[in-house]
Chain A
């Protein structure tokens, strides 16, 4: 079946503009995760959804970042008033089984964001 998809694959924007990144998880996966990866670094957790609710938003770096999920499916990550430090690859993952139960995450290809 189809994997996790993300759009756009690349986004170049000017500092101060808002951007919206989209994630389509694997159908039926209840958990959805957003991560950020700066060049040459590991993944930073941003936010996690269980269904349409977000039990853990602890990773969002500032109030310029927000995310929502509707219909236990698509999620959008919005960055307002982008800054150059927001430049990174934004990765989305989904899982159908709880990670502590041995489930694993399936990652999308990411959106590469460049803020000029």
Chain B
């Protein structure tokens, strides 16, 4: 069963604007990861945030984590048409157990 739920399901913005996607989860986690998927194929890892971290940056990406609310957000600043993709959050509970994915947010960036 899926744990993470992304919100919104779809998002359409103009190039240059910021995009914010949210993820909520249900159980305690070790870390939370965001992935991007182009054209329904393989996923690419974007960023990982550990349960003891509150915010993390990587280039134009900013991730926050609120373990008390069991939620995370992914902010993409100064979006580009190439950012058009589906974005998934995935949680890790322990060890090598598999990632638990949400259904994703479909982001469209219009040039």
Which residues of A come within 8 Å of B, CB atoms? 4, 31, 33, 35, 37, 39, 41-45, 48, 50, 55-56, 59, 89, 91, 93, 95, 98-100, 102, 104-110, 112
Cα A26 to Cα B4 in complex, Å, equals: 27
Interface residues on B, range: 20 to 34
SS class, residues of chain B in contact with chain A: loop
Q: How far in angstroms is the closest Cβ of chain A from B69?
A: 21
Q: Is the interface of A mostly helix, strand, loop or mixed?
A: strand
Task: Name the CB-closest residue of B to A34.
Answer: B98
Check if A100 sits within 8 Å of B94, measured CB to CB.
yes
**What B residues does A95 contact at CB under 8 A?**
96
In-complex Cβ contact of A104 among B33, B40, B102 (8 A) = B33
Specify which chain B residues have a CB less than 8 angstroms from the CB of A106 in the assembled complex: 45
> A110 with B42: in contact, given A99-B99, A100-B94, A102-B50 (CB under 8 Å)?
yes
